[in-house]
Chain A
């Protein structure tokens, strides 16, 4: 409903603008790039996870046309985004708006990572505490590797034999 209203209204405005053209500076038709710049940030409400600028459905072609008309009307990015959210819901946005239950998506991962980091620190600390007098292996350079392996092998052979 509102979609067609906006379109009719937009068309009327464009006509008025054309008639009144000499009075104003010429506003060129928005380029594909300008339309795509906004379409890129919006998601196709029909096909999941497809940004509007690459979606090939008829619906998306229409929505791109709507963006073009709105740009002609001089709407800014926020207004256009707002319009789409009102029409089709939050799912047209690339990320959920941070309100209500949506906070969870932004809060949970960092919390988990921080808790993981703390656990890790505690684990490492606890390992340092339990020194029971064993020798610490130095890092083995590749050359030493061969040598040490050989030595270990011989020791083992002696032990088992």
Chain B
């Protein structure tokens, strides 16, 4: 985030005697701890390279000792990186501002918990944190029982450790969090881990502090969730490559990594939802998703991952789509790295920022090499991956799932091209262009609609073949219910065709899904003579993936209701009010009561207004929109006052860029209908994913089953 060195955090201690005195007091803190951190970081880099090389060497020599040594090295990266992280956290908490990273993300006024979470508050720390999570996940993979899948092990080590080594290369050589600040002879500031020739160490007395926008609970949890999602997708990719490399191209790799990809998807979804919530609470534009390239960078792996999640089911059940699943996981991995590249290389602000650091070219090189070699490997095994099954008619569950994949890929193409095009335009014509939300909304809306429609139809379709009659007889009840729902909406006064289509589709999915639950439960009740709740509970437990998936679909429906609500019916107004004056938006009236302004002891100026909210002359309560100005970073942050109900949000902003005074203060007010359905839907969505990913209790018989199948295969 802060890549330049041009900050002026207060007076420097630079005189030699002060420096020496200072050293005596803090020899342990200043030298031992950071150097241990730096050393273990570098060691982790070497160990990761060793692990990858040893694994491949072991395969070539057919010597399991080398592979075992590679595995041991792989397990070692986690403790090493943990030491590096702890060392950095120590520097952050104790405020060692002579380290560039510490000075750029912390300051004296920050509380300890924020200093700790500053570990992922900036570029260098984020990359270290990413690597640490990666090491944790690969460690967990390394510790699993490998007896039946030994042949996968060296390739999994190669892929995961190769990825880790790449990230550690960036951390060690380009964005080193243990780099100190120095002043060179010509007076310029340099950051380097060791003393450059003739340079004098700099000791800033205070740091700049974390970007105030990032001092929010959502932003503290959001990056780790995204990173967890990102790194856990490396695991299924590694197994896919292992399957290709060893030629064991059956669905084994998918079964082994099923939970990994669900967990990856869970974290990525959670990261996206939390990011949206953060934007809504902090960014002060009344929205939750702005189609910003940084957001899209995280959405793209999610799109590919969602397509993958659906199409692996088809391979597991029907033995087809093997090429496609390989391609999807390769794509997902590439998009994970690409997303990190987009947000970390500075390429988004300008193509020219890309060339300023070695980071961008290295990333592009790494993506290119991994993508091309993966696809080459896939082509090499192409004929081994032939499908084993066939269909009887064009409409079948398989083809509907494929259509779902096409729609997700379509959205992905739009996103990818929308992010890339401004860069291409700048590169070739020198002309910068903006691809704003309106482009994405218009282009993707029909595809999202199509996905909703498929969510309604596909669960009722049949593998192999489905006739229109059969589909029709299963669908007419939910479809009729959706039509009645539409009719109610029209009576209620909804006239927007787009909103009616959206709501109709969402309602249709909801009815189909609930109908599925009801049908399954009814059948079970009949057979086992159970009460309704017991039957529902046991049915869902018997088939977690299916019913977890349905719960996820219900979550999506709720989110769709919220998204359509805010996208189609959001209203806003802005006005400058004197004390006692009021403004009206829809049925709401807001009265400006008072304003106070004060400085806090952590270097922030707060302007806080008190406004009263009425709906149709009924007093609802007071809201306190706020503007916080951070002196150190010269940044302001507008925190809305929100009155939140299930029906709508009344969202009041103190417009920070206009003069704020009791005589006349500018307010921007949004009315956001149904927006809370998004968060509610998000909650249900995560719940459903947990249901689907929860470890099965009766794992013993299933393992036995798998092993007998394995024995059969080998026989």
Residues of A within 8 A of B (CB): 31-33, 36, 43, 48-49, 51, 54, 56-58, 60-61, 89-96, 100-102, 104-105, 108-109, 112-113, 116-117, 120, 123-125, 127-132, 134, 136-139, 141-143, 145-146, 153, 156-157, 159-160
Contacts and interface: CB of A to CB of B under 8 A. Distances in A.
Nearest to B436: A94
Nearest to B439: A95
Nearest to A127: B391
Interface residues of B, number: 75
A62 to B, nearest CB: 11
Contacts of B431: 89-91
Interface string B239-270: 00000000000000000000000000000000
A95 B656 contact: no
A96 B433 contact: yes
Interface in B374-403: 387, 389-394, 397-399, 402-403
18 contacts: A49-B293, A56-B636, A91-B433, A93-B434, A95-B435, A95-B436, A95-B438, A96-B425, A102-B425, A105-B417, A109-B410, A112-B413, A113-B413, A116-B406, A136-B464, A143-B520, A143-B527, A156-B712
Contacts of B31: none
Contacts of A134: 389-390
Contacts of B657: 56-58, 60-61
A127 B462 contact: no
Given A127-B390, A160-B708, A43 B406 contact: no
A108 B285 CA distance: 31
Contact of B443 (A48, A60, A109, A141): A109
Given A128-B390, A160-B711, A94 B439 contact: yes
Contacts of B424: 101, 104
Contacts of A57: 657
Contacts of B463: 136-139
B546 interface: yes
Contacts of B89: none
Pairs A-B, 6 closest by C-beta atoms:
A136-B464, A94-B436, A32-B574, A139-B462, A96-B433, A54-B285
B332 interface: no
* Majority secondary structure, A binding face: helix
Given A95-B438, A137-B463, A143-B524, A160 B712 contact: yes
Interface string B447-473: 000000000000001111100000000
Contacts of A102: 425, 433
Nearest to A117: B406
Contacts of B575: 31-33
B434 A109 contact: no
Given A120-B406, A128-B393, A92 B421 contact: no
A90 B656 CA distance: 28
A113 B293 contact: no
B340 interface: no
Contacts of A136: 392, 463-465
Nearest to B428: A101
Given A128-B393, A139-B397, A156-B708, A109 B425 contact: no
Contacts of B524: 142-143
Interface string B274-300: 000000000011000010110000000
Contacts of A60: 657
B390 A132 contact: yes
B413 A109 contact: yes
B542 A146 contact: yes
